Structure 1
């Protein structure tokens, strides 16, 4: 099975991986048919878990390979990853300020350019923004496989591990999108539709990321660091603040434990498989 997968073009591999993470999101969104609401502590644990996975993936799957690639090709490692990392954060900041969306927390605060779109659509746009860097990370990881001349198998397994990790955190994320939408007077069917739709951007971004690094070798370390910077921006600007909002000291621990578990699982996947 692995041999067959390795024989595919990188963009096809990225498409399959991105579709997998979307599918897991859809499974999580499907929980809306079984649960009417989601407890705050459970939601905070989910958000913390997603943050932990993204932080671990940012280093082991993205920044570390970027540093190694830059060193092997005679570039200045710290400069390359610094430029890429900051560019990723800046990209998400600009997107955050221009694309209309609304946060689940922060008292449903609207951001981006003014629009008359419905609140439900703006809530979905918020999660969609989060999924862009995840898709890019997957695509860049698979696009980098062809550049791993020393151990293609290890690079492939590492990219698969990244997709699995993102898929795991997408399951609770799908539920965290769809279930709260029912509290906005939306039917369960529509809530599920919008919940899974929020991740449809992942396979698209994955293909774009794979095509970019496959056609432009020199951009690879920058692209890896770029994806890491974008993911960290999401964690610090959105996931952690929402997980800690309006919580007592005891309640805040749920997000911390979720973060630790997510980080540990992603670390194990990357180190053991990659």
Structure 2
């Protein structure tokens, strides 16, 4: 992939975030729209991992390296998650929930709910941006497919952030939404270009390792953030249907590009 194509892909991903935030300000998304948008994004990212990132990682490195890189990426974001939540989290029906809530009362998460979500997303964009750069350096098709999935993801996440800010209220919600979504977009573009410029000359097996690591990190985000968010707003299992549509879209694009 040439540099100008990468710039266009990275810029599209970066602009998708403030555009999603602006869309939430123009008209607050309904719960059904959120379930469809976030579910579709989750399916698209799952398709990018399954059909492009991991196969390309194994091809350029080896199966053990791809598996190890995926596990390393997942563990890195898991560690970030624990840091943000001060080492404790539990689902609503977990038997450990009461203990975690008692801990929360003594020691809050590092910021309010909006800050945790948007700040965490900004940090995650660094990973996603690097993944775009590494994907493009590894294979042009992989860069295109991964970039498209991240564009969809960023727009959907920005809708969720906008909805959460509007739900919480407070002063200057528009300014807060545009600040966070703009920061997310800038983080993605900067890291995508850095990944391309600094990592493209690495040996193929190193690029394969980095690609698998990015897949593991992004997989963690999908199953812990996008899937629960989409399902919590679902109507008539709209989230599951949208997720299947997103996955099939990326599968079809991947096969068409390869053919």
TM-score by length of 1: 0.76
Given that residues 25 and 162 in structure 2 are in contact (C-alpha distance below 8 angstroms), is that contact kept between their aligned partners in structure 1?
Answer: no
What is the rounded CA distance, in whole Å, between the counterparts of 1:258 and 1:129 in structure 2? 26
What is the rounded CA distance, in whole Å, between the counterparts of 2:84 and 2:31 in structure 1? 27
Over 3 Å counting, the alpha-carbon distance change for 1:265 and 1:88 in structure 2 is same
Q: For residue 60 of structure 1, what is the aligned residue in structure 2?
A: 51
Given that residues 40 and 239 in structure 2 are in contact (C-alpha distance below 8 angstroms), is that contact kept between their aligned partners in structure 1?
Answer: yes
Given that residues 174 and 195 in structure 1 are in contact (C-alpha distance below 8 angstroms), is that contact kept between their aligned partners in structure 2?
Answer: yes
Q: For residue 32 of structure 1, what is the aligned residue in structure 2?
A: 24
Instruction: Return the offset for 1:115.
Output: 6.4
Runs (4+) off by over 6 Å: none
Q: For residue 80 of structure 2, what is the aligned residue in structure 1?
A: 95
Q: For residue 229 of structure 1, what is the aligned residue in structure 2?
A: 216
What is the rounded CA distance, in whole Å, between the counterparts of 1:115 and 1:89 in structure 2? 21
Residues matched between the structures, number: 241
The root-mean-square deviation of aligned C-alpha atoms, in Å, is 3.0
Q: Cα deviation per residue 1:138-159 (whole Å; 9 max; x = unaligned)?
A: 0111222xxxxxxxxxx32442
Query: Quick check: 1:177 aligned with 2:161?
Result: yes
Q: Cα deviation per residue 1:17-46 (whole Å; 9 max; x = unaligned)?
A: 3222011222111112321x3322322222
Query: Quick check: 1:258 aligned with 2:258?
Result: no
Q: For residue 205 of structure 1, what is the aligned residue in structure 2?
A: 191
Instruction: Return the offset for 1:14.
Output: 4.3
Over 3 Å counting, the alpha-carbon distance change for 1:136 and 1:116 in structure 2 is closer
What is the rounded CA distance, in whole Å, between the counterparts of 1:124 and 1:272 in structure 2? 35
Q: For residue 69 of structure 1, what is the aligned residue in structure 2?
A: 60
Query: Quick check: 1:134 aligned with 2:128?
Result: yes
What is the rounded CA distance, in whole Å, between the counterparts of 1:66 and 1:118 in structure 2? 37
Q: For residue 152 of structure 1, what is the aligned residue in structure 2?
A: none
Q: Cα deviation per residue 1:29-77 (whole Å; 9 max; x = unaligned)?
A: 1112321x3322322222211110111111222111112223xxxxxx2
